[in-house]
Structure 1
Amino acid sequence: MCGCYVIFSKKLNRFYVGATQDDLSTRIEHHNQAMYDKNRFTALANDWELFLFIPANGYPHAIRMERKIKAMKSSVYIRNLCKYPELLQKLVSST
């Protein structure tokens, strides 16, 4: 299933936003095992947990949502996506 995902590390107290068309649990497992590259941001921690998953109409849609969230550069925005369904709906429909 294609979608945009947000994972959170308690160790780093940081979010990571990504897009996937693969199995989500496998994707998170790979982040935790630093399988995407030892020098990447997610390799700094191994306690990544799913914070939010947003289903997409296809992989290009997932990428657009990922870029929009990253452009906001705000953990408050990410938390508000969970808190306010209308904000999440606006993101999905505007990308």
Structure 2
Amino acid sequence: MFYTYIIFSEILNKYYVGSTSNIEERLAKHNHNHKGFTGNKSDWKIVYFEEYTTKTDALKRELQIKKWKSRVMIEKLIKKS
């Protein structure tokens, strides 16, 4: 199984969209101190995810959501679930 996910940091008041084959492990990496957008805070929580059978489908959905560049659209998606 592959996943497209959205995580949220209350400290930053920001969303992050990604895809992975192991959502729990990926969240742990986001919450671990590392270089990159999510690495400087450790309060990321999964607020939304979708399951896919292929990595390609999960990645396509991730890119589709990122192209929105709209917090409003992301929050509407989260509220629908």
User: Unaligned 5+ residue runs, structure 1?
Assistant: 86-95
Percentage of pairs with the same residue: 36
- TM-score relative to the length of structure 2: 0.91
Match of 1:27 in 2: 26
CA shift for structure 1 position 82: 2.2
Q: Which has the higher contact order (CA 8 A, sep 6+)?
A: 2
Instruction: Judging by fraction of residues, say which structure has more helix.
Output: 1
1:56 equivalent to 2:52? Answer yes
CA shift for structure 1 position 45: 1.0
Letter in 1 for 2:57: H
Letter in 2 for 1:24: I
Structure whose CA Rg is larger: 1
SS in 2 for 1:82: helix
1:46 equivalent to 2:27? Answer no
Instruction: Judging by fraction of residues, say which structure has more strand.
Output: 2
User: Unaligned 5+ residue runs, structure 2?
Assistant: none
Find runs of 4+ consecutive structure 1 residues off by over 6 angstroms. none
Coordinate RMSD, CA, aligned: 1.3
